[in-house]
């Protein structure tokens, strides 16, 4: 297909896992290094695995299950699905992240299952998150997960790559969330369909791994198959903190072929807002300033780390509290992130201010557990999707914004420029 | 390998960026026992009357980026349980596309701009020349069927039956 003279990160990782050189457009069977199934997909995959006629998985240490979409179980039926996952996992020695441990994507990173140059596939669209650590994180279906648990392999088409060049440095109160919202505005919801994104430029080095995770995570909202960052000094420091020292990072070849490239100057990014009910309907936050909000949700795999929750708290602290009538829902991405908030006193401060704390997990993001807004409510959220009905109420209006902007809204009861309450 | 088939039915037209939560909401997935029960709520949040109006030969027709958002495979299996055999769209989100092929639901890529709600359409799939036929045969819209490398997964009844039959993937993928 393509000439093989220069390859992108995606082409190189996929080729290394197919045992042959691959170029964009080719179909291939590739081996996977790690697999994730959530309580939204693993129960179905377990049934399909049995229907495929398999009893044993290809390699238990390469599979993890996560009880996160229903954390805690929202009904007896869901509790039985959790038991089904536990039983399957226990019999085969598969790791299982229990209710309350956190969101699978966060746990995969914390456990060191995501390493540079590897393929980490999972039956959940937000597996693109792993690109922040130079891993090809890819979302698949439950049938794919079942086949991969049996064989260690998935089928796929090698994607073309769109290069995203980041320049400069973020200017607070703009946050990484505002960068990905701006990118979604420019790409639109289908702008990266079938494509891998590859981030480069001097702006990348200024972004922490957590900030890269925020950006990579929401690349799926533009349809991206993967969202890859190179492995640099911040990556190595992050991995070192997890005790990972031996890894094989993958860089693009100098002559790699890109379908297109797009530049974002981080210093020009200002606070953004995605309007209901489209992730790509993105405007400067000022355009909806003053709109009253009923619920503020700080959580999810893109916006629920301790640093996000602290950024929201900073705005609330500056204003002196949560506005009357606003329900502030805090759902840490994992128990480890919750413990960071306990250790520095942030959690005690939030609960004293009247915040509602829910179990680490996906929480209110997809309306499966956690706090569900009333119909007609206006919600501002650090989550990654604002589709109609997404949080469980068909007629709620969901705005997506940065943690700082969500904190400012909790403090004032209205959509507010985060600058007004910046530390 | 090539695929040959012809499907006729009534077009049920949707717009752009129909996400999987719109196909079936996560709260129905949470509460329902099985796909048959969920099928009563197909497209509920954007068209509450849709599921009751569905007929056996209906074909879903949509704009760009059909099936975006969550990778949840039930968005495909519920459509199958409701009797949907094919979806024609200007483009598909990648996870929906692969889930469709893995479950024997035919995804066809074509310019759907001229398809009218309730009109009769035909999908004619043949090696290298898939078309969508509109207006009683007066208009033939060129289309893309299933890539040759994936045809055996589709024709053998989806990925589960394919893996069961071959005890794994046939490598390299036949073209």
Compute the average pLDDT of residues A183-203: 97
Question: In A, residues 33-72, which contact B (CB 8 Å cutoff)?
Answer: 40-41, 44, 48, 51-53, 69-70
Residue B1's pLDDT band (boundaries 50, 70, 90)?
A: low
Fold classified for A273-421: Aconitase; domain 3 (3.30.499)
- Dmax (CA) for chain B in angstroms is 46
ipTM score here?
Answer: 0.97
Instruction: Tell me whether residue B171 is in a domain.
Output: no
- Strand, coil or helix: B163: helix
The model's pLDDT over B149-158, given as tens digits with 9 standing for 90+, comes to: 999 999 999 9
B86 and A CB contact within 8 Å: no
Tokens matching residue A75: 């009904």
Q: Does A277 touch chain B (CB under 8 A)?
A: no
A85-89, A336-340, B27-31, B99-103, range with the lowest pLDDT? B27-31
**Residue A284 host element (H or E):** strand A282-284
Work out how many domains chain B is built from and give that number: 1
Q: What is the H or E stretch that residue B166 is in?
A: helix B159-166
B175 assigned to some structural domain: no
pLDDT for A4 equals 57
Q: Is A206 exposed, middle or buried (0-12, 13-18, 19+ CB in 10 A)?
A: middle
Alpha helices in B24-134 (DSSP H): 26-31, 35-38, 50-53, 74-81, 94-102
Over residues A295-304, mean pLDDT: 98
**Helix extents (H) in A95-175:** 104-110, 142-151
Nearest to A151 among B27, B33, B168 (CB): B168
- A123 part of contact set with chain B, CB < 8 Å: yes
Q: Is residue B174 part of a domain?
A: no
Q: What is the CATH number of the domain that holds B23?
A: 3.20.19.10
Inter-chain CB proximity A75 and B30 less than 8 Å: yes
Q: Which domain holds residue B87?
A: 5-166
Suggest the residue from B69, B147, B162 to mutate for an interface test with chain A (most A CBs closer than 10 A): B69
Whole-structure pTM value: 0.97
Nearest-Cα distance to chain B for A59, in Å, is: 15
User: Considering CB atoms only, which of B27, B64, B159 is closest to A392?
Assistant: B27
Interface test with B, best of A141, A148, A368, A392 (most B CBs within 10 A): A141
Instruction: Please indicate whether, in this complex, the C-beta atoms of B169 and A142 are within 8 angstroms of each other.
Output: no
The whole-angstrom separation of Cα A364 and Cα A377 is 14
Tens of pLDDT along B103-146? Answer: 999 999 999 999 999 999 999 998 778 999 998 899 999 999 99
Give residue-wise pLDDT tens across range A225-243. Answer: 999 999 999 999 999 999 9
Q: Name the CATH architecture for the domain at A10-266.
A: 2-Layer Sandwich (3.30)
Q: Are A410 and A289 in contact (CB under 8 A)?
A: no
Q: List every span in chain A annotated with CATH 3.30.499.10.
A: 10-266, 273-421
The verdict on B28 touching A (C-beta cutoff 8 Å) is no
CA B31 to chain A, closest CA, distance in angstroms equals 8
Q: Does B163 contact A147 at a Cβ distance shorter than 8 Å?
A: yes
Average pLDDT over residues A160-174: 98
Q: Which of B2, B133, B125, B129 minimizes the C-alpha distance to B61?
A: B133
User: Exposed e or buried b for every residue in B132-160, given b needs 16+ CB within 10 A?
Assistant: bbbeeeeeebebebbebbbbbbbbbebbb
């Amino acid at each position: 297909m393509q000439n093989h003279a220069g390859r992108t990160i995606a082409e190189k990782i996929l080729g290394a896992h197919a045992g042959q050189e691959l170029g964009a457009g080719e179909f291939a069977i590739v081996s996977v290094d790690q697999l994730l199934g959530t309580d939204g997909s693993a129960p179905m995959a377990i049934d399909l695995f049995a229907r495929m006629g398999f009893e044993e998985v290809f390699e238990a240490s390469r599979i993890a299950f996560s009880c996160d979409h229903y954390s805690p179980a929202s009904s007896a039926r869901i509790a039985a699905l959790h038991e089904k996952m536990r039983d399957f996992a226990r019999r085969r020695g598969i790791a299982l992240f229990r209710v309350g441990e956190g969101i699978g994507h966060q746990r995969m990173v914390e456990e060191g299952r995501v390493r540079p140059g590897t393929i980490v596939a999972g039956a959940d669209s937000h597996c693109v998150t792993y690109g922040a650590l130079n891993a090809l994180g890819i979302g698949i279906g439950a049938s794919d997960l079942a086949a991969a648990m049996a064989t260690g392999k998935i089928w796929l088409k090698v994607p073309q790559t769109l290069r995203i060049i980041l320049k400069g440095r973020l200017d607070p109160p703009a946050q990484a969330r505002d960068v990905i919202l701006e990118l979604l505005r420019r790409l639109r919801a289908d702008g990266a369909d079938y494509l891998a994104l590859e981030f480069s430029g001097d702006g990348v080095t200024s972004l922490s791994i957590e900030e890269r995770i925020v950006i990579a995570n929401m690349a799926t909202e533009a349809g991206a198959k993967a969202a890859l960052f190179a492995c640099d000094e911040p990556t190595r420091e992050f991995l070192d903190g997890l005790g990972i020292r031996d890894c094989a990072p993958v860089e693009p070849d100098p002559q790699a072929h890109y379908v297109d490239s797009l530049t974002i100057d981080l210093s020009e990014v200002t606070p953004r807002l995605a309007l209901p009910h489209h992730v790509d309907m993105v405007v400067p936050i000022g355009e909806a300033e003053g709109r009253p909000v009923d619920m503020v949700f700080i959580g999810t795999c893109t916006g629920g780390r301790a640093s996000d929750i602290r950024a929201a708290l900073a705005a609330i602290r500056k204003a002196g509290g949560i506005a009357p009538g606003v329900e502030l829902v805090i759902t840490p991405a994992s128990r480890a992130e919750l413990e960071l908030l306990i250790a520095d006193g942030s959690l005690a401060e939030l609960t004293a201010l009247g915040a509602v704390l829910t179990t680490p997990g996906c929480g209110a993001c997809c309306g499966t557990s956690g706090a569900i807004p009333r119909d007609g409510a206006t919600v501002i959220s650090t989550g990654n999707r604002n589709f109609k009905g997404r949080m469980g109420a068909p007629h709620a209006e969901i705005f997506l914004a940065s943690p700082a902007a969500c904190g400012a809204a909790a403090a004032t009861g209205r959509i507010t420029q985060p600058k007004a309450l910046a530390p | 390998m090539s695929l040959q088939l012809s499907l006729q039915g009534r077009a049920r037209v949707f717009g752009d960026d129909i996400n999987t939560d719109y196909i079936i909401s996560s709260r129905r997935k949470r509460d329902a026992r099985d796909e048959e029960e969920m099928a009563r709520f197909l497209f509920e949040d954007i068209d509450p009357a849709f599921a009751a109006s569905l007929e056996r030969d209906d074909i879903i027709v949509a704009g760009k980026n059909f099936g975006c958002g969550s990778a949840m495979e039930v968005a495909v299996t519920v459509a199958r349980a409701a009797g949907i055999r094919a979806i024609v769209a200007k483009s598909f989100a990648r996870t929906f596309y692969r889930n469709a092929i893995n479950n024997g639901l035919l995804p066809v890529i074509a310019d759907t701009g001229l398809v009218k709600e309730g009109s009769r359409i035909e999908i004619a799939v043949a090696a290298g020349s898939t078309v969508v036929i509109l207006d009683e045969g007066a208009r033939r819209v060129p289309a893309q069927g299933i890539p040759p490398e994936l045809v055996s997964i589709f024709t053998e009844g989806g990925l589960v039956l394919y893996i069961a039959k071959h005890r794994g993937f046939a490598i390299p993928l036949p073209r």
